[in-house]
């Protein structure tokens, strides 16, 4: 019998309230952990709220460093979830930072593309999009990289507390339309606020399902 939504959410809540450990921060692929457990990555523009969402999912205030300075997370950051180890979360370096020098952008591109292409254990990516901005050209570029690497992704709107409900409905509809055009994107859009805890229980459950799937 199929597991009930509330059962998965409860299982996910328990899992994330147990052990979650920062493993390492990898500036290049030679430093990433052995591919011995499933992984779920979190990607998105600089400042979109990746680290904040990771903190919210794990119910910790600062397991992933959050910053007010965009472009702070430049490495792949790995977090072990569960005891015994169930899966790993990967906080990816943000993209689309306007002031980034071309050499930095190129380094980012290579690191992310090679990681996505070669990582057999990568089950899914959460692609975060700021509710206030919707999908920007840089996000569409990232979606193409994911489509090409055939890594399935869930588009997750962040900072939903920052806009009105009517505006949120419009951005959800527009984002759904974009998702339909991308082969590796899930049709349903996640809607979250790390600040208010909105959509977090659902996202935790989705992460657990993706890791187990």
Ligand X SMILES: Nc1nc2c(ncn2[C@@H]2O[C@H](COP(=O)(O)OP(=O)(O)OP(=O)(O)O)[C@@H](O)[C@H]2O)c(=O)[nH]1
The residues that touch ligand X, with contacts defined as CB under 6 A, are 44, 46-52, 66-68, 70-73, 94, 158-159, 161-162, 193-195
SS (H, E, C) the chain: CCCCHHHHHHHHHHHHHCCEEEEEEECCHHHCCCCCCCEEEEEEECCCCHHHHHHHHHCCCCCCCCCCCCCCCCCEEEEEECCCCCEEEEECCCECCCCCCHHHHHHHHHHHHHHHHHCCCEEEEEEEEECCCCCCHHHHHHHHHHHHHCCCEEEEEECHHHCCHHHHHHHHHHHHHHHHCCCCECCCCEECECCCCECHHHHHHHHHHHHHC
Taking CB within 5 to 8 Å according to partner kind, which of Mg ion, ligand X, none is near residue 193?
ligand X
Minimum CB separation of residue 42 from ligand X in Å reads 8
Taking CB within 5 to 8 Å according to partner kind, which of Mg ion, ligand X, none is near residue 71?
ligand X
Q: Specify the residue, 5 or 109, whose C-beta has the smaller distance to Mg ion.
A: 109
Q: Specify the residue, 50 or 159, whose C-beta has the smaller distance to Mg ion.
A: 50
Q: Specify the residue, 122 or 194, whose C-beta has the smaller distance to ligand X.
A: 194
| Binding pattern for the stretch 70-109 against Mg ion, x by CB under 5 A and - elsewhere | ---x------------------------------------
Among 15, 40, 45, 51, binds Mg ion (CB under 5 A): 51
């Amino acid at each position: 019998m199929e597991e009930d939504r509330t059962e998965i959410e409860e299982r996910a809540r328990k899992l994330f309230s147990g052990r979650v450990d920062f493993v390492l921060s990898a500036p290049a692929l030679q430093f990433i952990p052995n591919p011995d457990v499933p992984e779920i990555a979190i990607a998105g523009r600089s400042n979109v709220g990746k680290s904040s969402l990771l903190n919210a999912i794990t119910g910790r205030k600062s397991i992933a460093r959050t910053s007010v300075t965009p472009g702070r997370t430049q490495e792949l950051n790995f977090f072990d979830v569960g005891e015994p180890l169930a899966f790993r979360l990967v906080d990816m370096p943000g993209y689309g930072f306007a002031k980034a020098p071309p050499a930095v952008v190129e380094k980012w591109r290579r690191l992310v593309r090679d990681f996505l292409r070669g990582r057999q254990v990568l089950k899914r990516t959460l692609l975060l999009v700021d509710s206030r901005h919707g999908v920007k050209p840089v996000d569409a570029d990232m979606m193409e990289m994911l489509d090409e690497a055939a890594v399935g992704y869930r588009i997750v709107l962040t900072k939903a507390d920052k806009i009105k409900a009517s505006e949120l409905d419009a951005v959800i509809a527009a984002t759904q339309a974009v998702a339909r055009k991308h082969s590796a994107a899930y049709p349903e859009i996640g809607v979250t606020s790390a600040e208010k805890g909105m959509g977090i229980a659902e996202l935790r459950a989705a992460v657990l399902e993706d890791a187990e799937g």
